[in-house]
Amino acid sequence: MKYKNQLAFEIPSRSVNEALARSVVACFAAQLDPTMDELGDIKTAVSEAVTNCIVHAYPDTIGKIFVRCKILPDNVLDIVVKDKGRGIEDVAQARMPMYTTGGDERSGMGFTIMESFMHELKVTSKPEKGTTVHMKRKILKRGGKT
Amino acid sequence: MTTFLQDKQLTIALTGEIDHHGARSVLKMIADKIDQYLPTVCVLDMKAVSFMDSSGIAIVIHTYRRMTERQGILRLKQVPAQPRKVLEAAGMERLVTIEGRSPVYEI
C-alpha cells in the first residue's frame, strides 16, 4: 500500500522506553493534526503493545522491540509493534479481557484496550519466534485543512 | 506523591504518567499507606495524572481489593479525560466511584 510518510525505530525492551515509544509515535502522528483525544488513544495503544513486549515477549532478558508507523491514504495511521520474543501459544485466548500470564501485577486488559482505542487490530504470533501487533487508526479531518 | 489523612479518610494524590515502568512503586506506596493508616475510605486524587495505561487498572484493582478486605471503599477523584477513558474501557466504573475533573482545568 502506498504510504505518505513513515518512521521506523528499534528500542531495547526496558520499561523506561515505554514513555519514549509513546512520545515518538505521538510526534509522528502530529502531522495528521489529531485531537487530544485521538492522540491519547494512540499513545495508550502504543503503550500497551510495547509493555506487552517488555513483560511477556522478553520476561527474563532484554530484547529488541521494533516499531514502524506509516501514514496511509485517507488519514490513516498504521502502527506495527514487533518482537522476536517468546510468542503466544493461543492468540485468541490472550486477547480475552482480563486474561494474563503476567501474574497479579498485570490486569490482562492490554489487547482489549488496543482493540477499543484503535480502529483495527491484528495480532500474529508463533511460539519462540515472536509476535507482531498491527493496528490502524483513522484520524478525522478537521475543518480547513486538506 | 502526597497523602493526607482526615477522619479515617486517606487521600493519595497520584502524579505524572502511570505505566508499567512506574506502577510497582506506586502500588507499593499505596499499599504501605493503607496498612499504616487503616482508613475506611481511600481516595485516589488523579488530578495530576497526565497519562495512564492498563498498569493503572491493575493499581485500581489491587487497591480496591485491599480496601474491600477491610470493609472499606475506594473512590477515584478528579480523573482527567485520558485515564477516565482507560478506566471505562476496563469497566472500572462498576467497581469504584469515578469522579471527573472540573471543566475549568481543561485548557
How do residues B46-70 score in pLDDT, each as one tens digit? 999 999 999 999 999 999 999 999 9
Lowest mean pLDDT among A19-23, A94-98, A142-146, B69-73: A142-146
Burial of B41 (0-12, 13-18, 19+ CB in 10 A): middle
A107-125 pLDDT, tens digit each: 889 999 999 999 999 999 9
| Structure confidence at residue B78 (pLDDT) | 96
Nearest residue to A6 (alpha-carbon basis) of A78, A87, A106, A111 = A78
A106 is catalytic: yes
Min CA distance, B7 vs chain A (Å)? 30
Check CB contact of B94 with chain A, cutoff 8 Å.
no
Q: A40 vs B61: CB contact, 8 Å cut-off?
A: no
Residue with the larger pLDDT of the pair A145 and B48: B48
A39-52 pLDDT, tens digit each: 999 999 999 999 99
Question: Across the interface, which of B24, B27, B53 has its CB nearest the CB of A44?
Answer: B53
| Structure confidence at residue B65 (pLDDT) | 95
Residue with the larger pLDDT of the pair A74 and B104: A74
pLDDT tier at B12, thresholds 50, 70, 90: very high
Min CA distance, A110 vs chain B (Å)? 6
Residues of A in contact with B23 (CB under 8 A): 105
pLDDT tier at A135, thresholds 50, 70, 90: very high
| Best of B21, B84, B101 to mutate (most A CBs within 10 Å, chain A) | B21
Measured in degrees and rounded to the nearest 5, phi and psi for residue A102 equal -100, 15
Q: How far apart, in whole angstroms, are the C-alpha atoms of residue A118 and residue B5? A: 40
pTM for the full predicted model: 0.92
Check CB contact of B55 with chain A, cutoff 8 Å.
yes
Residue labelled with grid coordinates 485466548 = A93
A14 is catalytic: no
- DSSP states along chain A: ---SEEEEEEEES-TTHHHHHHHHHHHHHGGG---HHHHHHHHHHHHHHHHHIIIIISSSS--EEEEEEEEETTTEEEEEEEE-SS--S-HHHHTSTT--SSGGG--S-HHHHHHHHSSEEEEEEETTTEEEEEEEEEPPP-TT--
A75 is catalytic: no
Q: B58 vs A110: CB contact, 8 Å cut-off?
A: no
pLDDT tier at A67, thresholds 50, 70, 90: very high
Lowest mean pLDDT among A35-44, B20-29, B76-85, B94-103: B94-103
Q: How far apart, in whole angstroms, are the C-alpha atoms of residue A32 and residue A34? A: 6
| Structure confidence at residue A88 (pLDDT) | 94
| Structure confidence at residue B8 (pLDDT) | 93
